[in-house]
């Protein structure tokens, strides 16, 4: 626990002055020894109370700084969570574009384009005539272009 050095120095000067006053009053008077001890004890307790107050103040400042740091970390986490959500959405969009492109290539080139090791992208389609394939390709190209346009405009 860090105590402000200036506060500690000022307190030490005050308590030294108080102790000197208590000692002077004890030396010339006929007061009971118990009263003198009590006065010294009061001075010590006041010094302890001031020290504790300074420590408490320091702890409150530390606590406020830590709370501010926690808040900034939470804001960073929230910001990063939003970025992650956005990236996951973009990834989903891109994966659908990949599936569409894969399906178009399989339709257009048939078995030449099919990768036997890449089962997750394989799309099986019944055999089509040349005219059906051409019509499907034109429609698929338009869909693909419509899906890619917002992504391209963002970048």
CB atoms within 10 A of CB 104: 20
pLDDT band at 153 (very low <50, low <70, confident <90, very high): low
Residue of 141 and 36 predicted with greater confidence: 36
Residue 26: per-residue pLDDT: 46
Residue 110: per-residue pLDDT: 75
Enter the pTM of the model: 0.42
Long-range contacts of 7-14 (CB under 8 A, 24+ apart): 7/54, 8/51, 8/54, 11/47, 11/50, 11/51, 11/54
Residue 64: per-residue pLDDT: 93
Token reading at 84 = 């992650």
Residue 101: per-residue pLDDT: 87
Residue 31: per-residue pLDDT: 62
Encode pLDDT of 1-49 as tens digits: 445 666 666 666 666 665 555 555 544 454 678 888 888 899 999 999 9
Encode pLDDT of 84-135 as tens digits: 999 999 999 999 998 888 888 888 877 666 666 665 555 554 555 656 666 6
Residue 90: per-residue pLDDT: 92
Residue of 80 and 114 predicted with greater confidence: 80
Location of structure tokens 């992504």: 151
- The stretch 46-69 carries a mean pLDDT of 93
Residue (of 46, 45, 26, 27) closest to 36 by Cα position: 26
Angle at 107 between CA 101 and CA 108, to 5 degrees: 90
> Residue 53 and residue 39: Cα distance in Å, rounded?
21
Q: CA separation (Å) from 121 to 104, 105, 111, 118? A: 12, 11, 13, 6
Dihedral sign for Cα atoms in the order 24, 25, 26, 28? positive
Residue 32: per-residue pLDDT: 76
Residue 23: per-residue pLDDT: 52
């Amino acid at each position: 626990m860090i105590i402000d050095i200036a506060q500690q120095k000022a307190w030490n000067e005050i308590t030294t002055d108080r102790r000197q006053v208590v000692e002077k009053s004890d030396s010339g008077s006929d007061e009971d020894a118990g009263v003198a001890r009590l006065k010294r004890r009061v001075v010590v307790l006041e010094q302890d109370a001031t020290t504790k107050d300074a420590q408490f103040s320091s702890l409150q400042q530390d606590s406020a700084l830590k709370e501010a740091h926690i808040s900034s970390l939470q804001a960073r986490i929230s910001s990063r969570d939003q970025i992650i959500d956005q990236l996951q959405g973009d990834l989903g969009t891109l994966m659908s574009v990949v599936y569409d492109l894969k399906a178009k290539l399989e339709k257009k080139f048939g078995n030449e384009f099919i990768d036997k090791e890449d089962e997750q992208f394989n799309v099986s389609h019944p055999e089509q005539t040349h005219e059906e394939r051409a019509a499907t390709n034109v429609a698929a190209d338009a869909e693909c272009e419509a899906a890619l346009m917002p992504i391209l405009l963002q970048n």
